[in-house]
Structure 1
Amino acid sequence: MGDTRFLRWYRTIPITLMAIVCALTFGFSLVPDNLVRSIFYPVKYADIIQEASDRYGVDPYLVCAVIKCESNWNPTVQSDAGAQGLMQLMPATSQELATLGSVDSSTYDPTALTDPTTNIEYGTAYLAYLQANLNSTDEVIAAYNAGLGSVSSWQSSGGDISNNITYAETAAYLVRVKDAYAKYQELYPNGITDSN
């Protein structure tokens, strides 16, 4: 008898959790967009991002989404692997972009990756480089995380790249960046430099 009471009670846990999630989701939908923008999806350095995006032909919403997912807008963060700054660039990547002439290294020092302006310049240039060598935004996002070589091997399988990704981290990264990208488009319909 005691066991059946426990099992009946235990079955209410998923229902209770589902009700809580629904209530939170509904509550979240009532929060004004300005509050959601400032707390969850801020845009810092909007003018710098817009200028770099215009210069390199990269969607500024994509730059914001990458920054949100890579560093959550912390310009001084550094990964265990050595990636630095807002867009979590490896020093070797910024140096290569400078060597290729993609970025003017006399203006933007490739070793100063904790400087927001420099980091955004190199990160946006890298996104432009990936765009020039790949076919879709999904491929660009995946390559930003896993590298061009990995995406090239996934392309050889044919079809949608998201179905061919073999790295769990990259698959999750693709979903996170695409979600952030959609939120930035939704919350900043007049562009990232619009403060209203």
Structure 2
Amino acid sequence: MPKARFFTWYRVAPLAVVFVFGLISLVYSCAPAAFFKPLYPIDYEAYVKQSSISHNLDPYLVCAVIKSESNWDPEAESNQGAQGLMQLMPETAQDMIAKGLVDGGEYSADNLNDPATNIEFGCAYLSYLLAYFNGSTDSAIAAYNAGMGNVDGWAQQNTSFHNAITFPETQAYLIRVNNAWVRYKTLYPDQFV
């Protein structure tokens, strides 16, 4: 009867996979800023700064939403019809004009692929969500992805907000935006001073 060897492929393969993922996690956590800056760029800085100031938002949060929504692609379009850097629906942009949060004479809801226009409407909407949810950033981020009605329902649950979210995509989105927000603040501490 052959003697079983401890280091056979079916024992080593799972250990190797765990080691590789552990190494990737370590590099991701401890890598220098030079490694991450290409992964977390800031484009359209002037538009982000201007619209963030006018809508009383943290520009790093705006950058995190743009990174998570379109990865800085002004031509991005979702299957549902969301457009541009901040992935806005034309109806949402129209609503921001109707609520008086965006000057419809200066910005057109029909021009959402224009970076300045998209950032202005996206900042207005994000600011509106923050005000609606009494400053709760997590609720505003989740509503940006899943809608205000869903977040209203989740907020009524008798559990932590993250656990109340019933859409895995929204849970992942909330984590992704918050992680990007921290990354942007760490990588570019003086960018918007």
TM-score above 0.5, yes or no: yes
CA distance in 1, matches of 2:44, 2:3: 59
Q: Show structure 2 runs of 5+ residues with no match.
A: none
Q: Comparing 179-188 with 156-165, which one deviates more in the overlay?
A: 156-165
CA distance in 2, matches of 1:47, 1:107: 17
Partner of 1:21: 21
Are residues 190 and 158 of structure 1, via their aligned partners in 2, closer, same or farther at CA, if it must alter by over 3 Å? farther
Partner of 2:43: 44
Partner of 1:91: 90
Q: Output one character per residue of 1:118-139: Cα deviation in whole Å (capped at 9) or x when no partner.
A: 0000000000000111031100
Q: Output one character per residue of 1:62-83: Cα deviation in whole Å (capped at 9) or x when no partner.
A: 1111100100000001011000
Q: Which amino acid aligns with 1:16?
A: A
Q: CA deviation at 1:189?
A: 1.5
Q: CA deviation at 1:188?
A: 1.2
Partner of 1:174: 174
Q: CA RMSD in A?
A: 2.2
Q: Show structure 1 runs of 5+ residues with no match.
A: none
Q: Which amino acid aligns with 2:58?
A: D
CA distance in 2, matches of 1:115, 1:2: 70
Q: Which amino acid aligns with 2:157?
A: S
Q: Output one character per residue of 1:37-91: Cα deviation in whole Å (capped at 9) or x when no partner.
A: 1x10000011110111111011111111110010000000101100000000001
Q: Which amino acid aligns with 2:92?
A: T
CA distance in 1, matches of 2:175, 2:101: 28
Q: CA deviation at 1:161?
A: 1.5
Q: Which amino acid aligns with 2:118?
A: N
Q: CA deviation at 1:186?
A: 1.1
- State the percentage of identical aligned residues: 46
Partner of 1:108: 107
Moved over 6 A (4+): none
SS of the counterpart of 1:189? Answer: coil
Q: Does 1:123 align with 2:122?
A: yes
CA distance in 2, matches of 1:12, 1:103: 59
Q: CA deviation at 1:8?
A: 3.4
CA distance in 2, matches of 1:179, 1:96: 29
CA distance in 2, matches of 1:29, 1:167: 27
Q: CA deviation at 1:160?
A: 2.9
Partner of 1:137: 137
TM-score by length of 2: 0.90
Partner of 2:62: 63
Q: CA deviation at 1:20?
A: 2.4
Q: CA deviation at 1:157?
A: 1.3
TM-score by length of 1: 0.89
Greater helix share, 1 or 2?
Answer: 1
